[in-house]
Amino acid sequence: MRGAAPGAAGSRPPVIPAVRTSEPGAARWRPSPATRIVLPPPDSRRLGDEARVLAAELCGDGHLDRPPRIVERHSASPHDVLLRTGKLDESDSSEAYRVDAGAALTVTGGSAAGVFYGTRTLLQTLRQRGEFAGRVVDWPEYGQRGLMVDVGRKYFTPGWLERMIRELAWLKCNVLHLHLSDSSGFRIESESHPEIVTRPALSKAEVRRLIAVAEDCHVTLVPEIDSPGHLEAVLEARPELRLIRKDGTVEPSKLDYSKPAARRLIKDLVAEYAELFPGGWFHLGGDEYFGYPWEEDRLTGENAPQLLEYARSVAGPRATLLDGFTSYLNDLVSVVAARGKRAKVWNDHIVPAAPGSGRVELDRRVEIEVWVRWNTDEPSVTDFLEADYDVLNGHGDHLYFILAPDQQHEKGKKSAQGLYDLWTPRTFMREPGEDLRLAAGQPVSGAHLSIWCDNPDFQSEREVAEAVHPWLRSFAQQMWGSPKPAATYEEFVPLIEAVGEAPALGSRSYGG
């Protein structure tokens, strides 16, 4: 058993993220050799995975010498843990839960996910106090609480990714976005186009193992195949599909999507991975293709006439480059939708079409991940909301953990302290260096913290895990939306240390 943290057992549980509500109670529950995990008959099948994970963690975290038995019973005996689903009066969220301490301990969730999160609160409290007292009722404010990992530019081992899934679950985060391709690497096995794969890469067998772990942990894996930019690694194997400017300049990382073979390649890849990953989302990328607003040589209809010709072929004689780009994305959205998923895209080339403008509109089913606004002439998050798009916060000034010597800080933006003290899930970019705060009534799907591997050799995967550890704790607290357990990040640090890492299971680790 871990050393007890200071504080009365009946006070608010010392967990990350902090619970929304708690009540003290006289009863104190602690695990014992007699402890069983009890599943009522209606829940015995739907909560079997949650029971098995909890049994392994109670043992793995040192609370019991052996995993407790899992039994099907209508009621629990003293020392037992009863897991069940049911409606909570306080919240209709499927991720809501209640933990009640008595002779037995009862975890009630709005769904299996809610039950799972209740067991996170239980385990974190046991780690510090050795017992659980009173009642907790808790639920999240935002539906998507995630981490993106750039596995395209840096190979992360399956063991590292599995451990990160468990870390996210430990903090009640529920999305791992895998940026599978970028200019320097395409890091997943492909059966449709094996020639494009960069070694080392994740095999499909390894991905299926990650999917199984993620399902146990209520984490959704979101694959991303970024196009039509950031494709240098793919186009090294298919050079005939590179964009060539009018003056003969070859764009090594940009796909010439005016070519049917280029569109077919990306459709093949999107279809292949949409069928591999069972979750409800697929990220299509779509960023940094035309160039930055201040660049004189950014792509135009004059220097890339084939893109303008393609746009006019699909959207009429008055079409612009952006119409062709949006049509290209919409075709991929249809591939994703045909496989029962919704698409996500980065925001920087998305411009909502005004009613009656005749412009091509991005499919309204797409969720826009808002990471940047280069200047105030470009659409803001408010513009996307007014155009009836769902938005996800990916704020590049706050939420980017970048592998580079000048990008990781102790304080301020791009730091664990900054996430806790300066950022909120409603803080978006007005323009670089300036923030925009959405009003409480404006809908936000959630947010993603991103690990970008600009300099992939700057840190080992173990060093990345250690460095991002406090960032994830600050981020998780902000995303859950409960009252903060400490007024400042400095006061939050002791709780980060006390909560620690997710319980170890087996021999998997962060790697070297």
Read off the pLDDT of residues 183-236 as tens digits, 9 standing for 90 and up.
999 999 999 999 999 999 999 999 999 999 999 999 999 999 999 999 999 999
Tell me: pLDDT of 2 over 80: no
Q: Domain 21-138 - what CATH class?
A: alpha beta
Per-residue pLDDT, averaged over 395-422, amounts to 94
Using 50, 70 and 90 to split pLDDT, how confident is the model at 505?
A: low
Q: What share of residues in the chain are helix, strand, coil (percent, to 5)?
A: 30, 20, 45
> Which residues are the active-site residues?
288
Cβ neighbors of 431 (< 8 A, separation 6 or more) are 373, 374, 375, 376
DSSP designation for 506: T
Q: How many degrees, rounded to 5, is the angle at CA 114 between CA 49 and CA 108?
A: 90
What is the length of the chain? 512
Residues 460-498: tens digit of each pLDDT: 999 999 999 999 999 999 999 999 999 999 999 999 999
The encoded tokens of residue 323 equal: 């119409």
C-alpha separations of 72 from 260, 266, 384, 447, 476 in Å: 57, 49, 49, 38, 34
Q: How far is the C-alpha of 213 from the C-alpha of 506, rounded, in Å?
A: 13
- pLDDT for the residue numbered 407: 87
Q: Which of the following CATH numbers is that of domain 144-499: 3.40.50.300, 3.30.1360.70, 3.20.20.80, 3.30.450.90? A: 3.20.20.80
- Cα-flanking dihedrals φ and ψ of residue 381, to 5°? -60, -35
Is pTM, for the whole model, over 0.75?
Answer: yes
Q: How do residues 125-183 score in pLDDT, each as one tens digit?
A: 999 999 999 999 999 999 999 999 999 999 999 999 999 999 999 999 999 999 999 99
Average pLDDT across the chain, whole number: 96
Which residues have C-beta within 8 Å of that of residue 49, sequence separation ≥ 6?
Answer: 112, 215, 216
Judge whether residue 507 has pLDDT over 80.
no
**CB atoms near residue 402 (< 10 Å):** 18
Average pLDDT on 280-290 reads 99
Identify the band that residue 424 occupies on the pLDDT scale cut at 50, 70 and 90.
very high
Q: E strands of 394-476, at which residues? A: 400-402, 427-431, 434-437, 446-452
Average pLDDT of the segment spanning 405-428: 94
User: What mean pLDDT do residues 246-258 have?
Assistant: 99
328/39 Cα distance (integer angstroms): 50
Buried b (16+ CB within 10 A) or exposed e, 262-293: bbebbeebbbbbbebbebebbbbbbbbbbeee
In this structure, the number of other CB atoms found within 10 A of the CB of residue 41 comes to 9
Rounded to 10 deg, the angle between the 461-480 and 158-170 helix axes is 20
Question: Are 28 and 131 contacting, i.e. CB atoms less than 8 angstroms apart?
Answer: yes
For residue 509, pLDDT beyond 90: no
Domain spans of the chain, in order of start: 21-138, 144-499
Element (H, E) at 220: strand 220-227
Instruction: Kindly report which listed range (7-16, 135-144, 252-261, 294-303) carries the lowest average pLDDT score.
Output: 7-16
Q: Residue 511: its pLDDT value, please?
A: 42
Alpha-carbon distance values, 374 to 163, 380, 396 (Å): 35, 10, 11
Residue 14's nearest CA partner among 137, 122, 101, 161 is 122
Q: What confidence tier does 409 reach under pLDDT thresholds 50, 70, 90?
A: confident
pLDDT for residue 504? 78
Percent of the chain scoring above 70 in pLDDT:
96
Average pLDDT over residues 32-49: 98
